[in-house]
Structure 1
């Protein structure tokens, strides 16, 4: 009995019954649902409730059928010959009445199908929006964890901080380098980066035994991870203006900021 109840619960949670009510199931799925409805009162009750909810939804969102349905009906009936409409011919009138009922039924079904298709489309769109919100939440949660890690690194007691300052045409340049030697981590935060002429970028260098070693090209405000191994050997940090994409050798004549390492800024 417990296994049967579990099977019923899994069926109700699968969404198959919901799709059956709005006509979004295959022939094989129809057979499965109809068997469950016939065999289990709980499924029958859930099916009746869904039918009532769909009926209520249809009433609340009722739309008058388009005029073309009436026109199609009249176009089918009016062309009949007058002798076919003779009042004494009972069989002809029954045939005409049957034709009218059939046309009304077909037209109504066609219209209901269009309405049902619209309902299914709304469900699909709502589901898509929900999935997008879930993805946005997961993305925001990931970004939050990344920010927390960055903040923990920056605020750690053994993380050294170096503020590099400069001015480009009276506009401030501000780059902060964070270096934690025990953890073997280093990164930079770019607070202000004045625009340069087309074809130019800023470049960050470390002075290692008198040789300029490139650490990063600075062309946006995104934080960047830099080599802690290089900083371990470096005596100072330098920023120069180079060609777009960076250079292999530093243009010392275009130096815009410099700071010694292993000192409190």
Structure 2
């Protein structure tokens, strides 16, 4: 559950909803959502919030502008609408009468038609431009809302982490274990907070002194229980992880703790020659 919560809080689901991730990351999100109902529920909630915000701030063009455009179009094409259907008449007679009507029309009528048509096109262009501006503003507002939501979520996570860190020092069931460097890295050090009764383990990233690990590797915490290594999860340095103390996998019984450098994602068994710190209880 801790890994699922961390994945939800990473912000990748919000980026997925925006479409701002690569195809590989999109496939990963869809795979995780299909495997974990909690992730799917969070993704649905994010998409629902985005839709509700768009509906709440949708802006339609003013009805007066629509009426003006339609009236202009009706005025421009009024002459064509008044033309009567001619039936059972000689085609030459019909053509002659229409040519005569056009010849007798005043020049001002042609000018009025041209300016009327130009005005209707101008109004249509203004309407399209106004709609584009409103759409751009709506997009900006949506982006700001998502950014604000992510910032609030990050702040809430920091508050929760600080509260949990304070509880560790107040709770007498926690034991602070100082892991010291091995012969390979004698200057290394790490503090582990462990509550056997609550089966909770946390590592202090703020004061950790560990050798640098490249992008392809992570630190992996191990517990020695009944003479066998037990995986307690992977972690990065304080510069990479968002919290000062990171909650690891649960364990209620242990005789020692150790940290090794493993390929990113962790290993099934510890790489002994990559052990950097260890402490026996």
TM range, normalised to the smaller chain? 0.5 to 0.7
CA RMSD, aligned part only? 3.9
- The whole-number CA distance in structure 2 between the counterparts of 1:200 and 1:133 is 31
> Displacement of 1:218 after TM fit?
4.5
> Displacement of 1:168 after TM fit?
8.7
Question: What residue in structure 1 maps to residue 226 of structure 2?
Answer: 209
Pick the structure with greater CA Rg. 1
> Displacement of 1:202 after TM fit?
4.1
Question: Unmatched 5+ residue regions in structure 2?
Answer: 1-55, 68-102
Q: 1:202 to 1:189 in 2, by over 3 A?
A: same
Aligned residue among 243, 249, 257 for 1:237: 257
- The whole-number CA distance in structure 2 between the counterparts of 1:113 and 1:173 is 67
Task: Give the SS at the match of 2:191.
Answer: strand
CA displacement, residues 31-88 of structure 1 (integer Å, 9 cap, x when unaligned)? xxxxxxxxxxxxxxxxxxxxxxxxxxxxxxxxxxxxxxxxxxxxxxxxxxxxxxxxxx
> Displacement of 1:101 after TM fit?
2.3
Question: What residue in structure 2 maps to residue 128 of structure 1?
Answer: 142
> Displacement of 1:23 after TM fit?
8.3
CA displacement, residues 198-248 of structure 1 (integer Å, 9 cap, x when unaligned)? 97654332222333333234455542423232xxx2222122445665444
Alignment of 1:52-63 (within 5 A): none
Alignment of 1:93-132 (within 5 A): 93-132=107-146
Task: Give the SS at the match of 1:189.
Answer: strand
Aligned residue among 252, 258, 263 for 2:278: 258
TM-score (normalised: structure 1): 0.53
Question: What residue in structure 2 maps to residue 21 of structure 1?
Answer: 62
Question: What residue in structure 1 maps to residue 25 of structure 2?
Answer: none
Q: 1:193 to 1:23 in 2, by over 3 A?
A: farther
Alignment of 1:214-229 (within 5 A): 214-218=231-235, 221=238, 222=241, 223-229=246-252
Q: How many residues align?
A: 182
1:92 aligns with 2:106: yes
Q: 1:172 to 1:122 in 2, by over 3 A?
A: farther
- The whole-number CA distance in structure 2 between the counterparts of 1:214 and 1:24 is 68
Task: Give the SS at the match of 1:19.
Answer: coil
Question: Unmatched 5+ residue regions in structure 1?
Answer: 1-13, 28-88
- The whole-number CA distance in structure 2 between the counterparts of 1:97 and 1:171 is 94
- The whole-number CA distance in structure 1 between the counterparts of 2:215 and 2:144 is 43
Question: What residue in structure 2 maps to residue 166 of structure 1?
Answer: 181
- The whole-number CA distance in structure 1 between the counterparts of 2:168 and 2:64 is 57
Question: What residue in structure 1 maps to residue 42 of structure 2?
Answer: none
> Displacement of 1:179 after TM fit?
1.3
Question: What residue in structure 2 maps to residue 177 of structure 1?
Answer: 192
Which has the bigger relative contact order, CA under 8 A and spacing at least 6? 2
CA contact (8 A) 2:202 2:248 kept: yes
CA contact (8 A) 2:185 2:276 kept: no
TM-score (normalised: structure 2): 0.50
